[in-house]
């Protein structure tokens, strides 16, 4: 079993109704596919959260505590490449 502290990275996807409806409904699967494809699934904890009161900036996805605002799910792989230093 993997302890939470074993994950060097964390991605938190806002699943509040505004972010969910504006794109995050598909973001979790895109993130999971991205991590699997690159062998990073055991290095990143992916969780969802309730509304963070930043709906106007959404859809919101946070990477290691930094909020990525107005995330277009189709650009998530590129955003994650940048975050992981793969681009």
Query: Buried b vs exposed e over 49-65: b needs ≥16 C-beta within 10 Å?
Result: eeeeeeeebbbbbbbee
Q: Which stretch binds ligand FES (CB under 6 A): 9-17, 33-41, 66-74, 75-83?
A: 9-17
25 binds ligand FES (CB under 6 A): no
Cβ-Cβ contacts under 8 Å for 3 (sequence gap 6 or more): none
Choose between 70 and 87: whose C-beta lies nearer to ligand FES: 70
Binding site for ligand FES (CB under 6 A): 14, 16-19, 51-52, 54-55, 58, 60
């Amino acid at each position: 079993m993997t302890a939470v502290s074993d994950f060097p990275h964390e991605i938190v996807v806002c699943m509040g109704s505004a972010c969910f409806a504006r794109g995050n409904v598909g973001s979790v699967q895109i993130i999971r596919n991205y991590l699997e494809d690159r062998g990073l699934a055991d290095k990143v904890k992916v969780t969802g959260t309730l509304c963070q009161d930043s709906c106007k900036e959404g859809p919101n996805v946070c990477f290691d505590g930094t909020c990525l605002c107005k995330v277009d799910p189709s650009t998530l792989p590129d955003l994650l490449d940048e975050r992981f230093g793969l681009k």
